[in-house]
């Protein structure tokens, strides 16, 4: 951290998940849609992804993420960076939950260290962090040389990995969690991060996460979502994945 960031850390710490927390959508499928609408031939990744989908339990989240990113095969690094900027300009912050962005703004005004901790690829999470004014933006690090490989190596920035990586930057949370910290999430996948925070807020939580929030005394917020029920959401996601 820079000296300025270290000073902010002394005043407080705010950790925000991205997908489902600051923005309603899984941005990995939306970014894919952004790319596929510009280069339609990349839709050829769909049969490959469908072929591997039945092996999800074997490959796990990290393996399937590598397969999903095959739509970027042989894309140049500079082109991916351009798509990332365009995507963020189109979707962030216009599509974010205003209520949650307001919470972020309050932390920023209080001089707290603000950290975006997402499982989405860091090549666009960095752009999101810049646009929303985060001090640090961390995502899944995807190996990319001059061109993206078919199944790129990556370290899935999810679950306990968020705490491990954050600990390298700001120190271990210890037994009682990071001092002056507040975590924000919509998912039980972030429980390691939330338990490392002194306070928490959950966004549109599932029944299980709602129960955990009540147990831990976390705030619950339920901003309006842009879809009409689970079926409408699923149909929209399928269109995103297909580049429609």
Could you report the average pLDDT of every consecutive run of 10 residues in the chain (244 residues)?
A: 92 98 96 95 92 92 95 96 96 94 97 98 97 97 93 96 95 92 98 97 98 97 94 91 86
Can you tell me whether residue 153 is helix, strand or coil? Answer: coil
* Domain map (residue ranges) of the chain: 3-241
In CATH, what is the architecture of 3-241?
Answer: 3-Layer(aba) Sandwich (3.40)
SS3 219: strand
| Residues of the chain by 3-state class (helix, strand, coil), percent to 5 | 55, 20, 30
Of 165, 233, 238, 175, give the one whose Cα is nearest residue 25: 233
pTM summary value: 0.95
Confidence (pLDDT) at 7: 94
pLDDT score recorded for residue 174:
86
Q: Is the dihedral of CA 91, 94, 97, 100 positive or negative?
A: positive
pLDDT for the residue 61? 92
Q: Give tens-digit pLDDT for 83-99.
A: 999 999 999 989 999 99
Q: According to the model, what pLDDT value does residue 1 have?
A: 83
pLDDT at 36: 95
């Amino acid at each position: 951290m820079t000296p300025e960031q270290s000073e902010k850390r002394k005043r407080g710490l705010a950790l925000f998940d991205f997908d489902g927390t600051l923005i309603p959508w899984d941005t990995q499928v939306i970014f894919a849609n952004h790319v596929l609408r510009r280069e339609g031939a990349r839709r050829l990744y769909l049969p490959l992804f469908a072929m591997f989908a039945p092996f999800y339990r074997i490959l796990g989240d990290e393996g399937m993420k590598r397969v999903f990113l095959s739509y970027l095969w042989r894309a140049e690094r500079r082109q991916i960076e351009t798509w990332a900027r365009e995507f963020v300009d189109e979707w962030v912050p216009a599509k974010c939950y205003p209520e949650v962005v307001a919470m972020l703004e309050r932390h920023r005004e209080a001089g707290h260290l603000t950290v975006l901790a997402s499982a989405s690829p860091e090549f666009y999470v960095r752009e999101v962090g810049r646009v929303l004014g985060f001090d640090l933006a961390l995502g899944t690090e995807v190996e990319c040389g001059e061109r993206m490989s078919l199944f790129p190596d990556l370290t899935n920035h999810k679950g306990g990995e968020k705490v491990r990586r954050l600990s390298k930057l700001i120190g271990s949370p210890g037994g009682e969690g990071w001092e002056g910290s507040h975590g924000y999430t919509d998912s039980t996948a972030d429980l390691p991060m939330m338990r490392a925070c002194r306070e928490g807020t959950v966004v549109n939580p599932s029944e299980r996460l709602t129960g955990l929030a009540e147990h831990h005394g976390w705030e619950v917020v339920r901003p309006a979502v842009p879809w009409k029920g689970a079926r409408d959401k699923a149909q929209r996601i399928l269109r995103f994945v297909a580049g429609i």
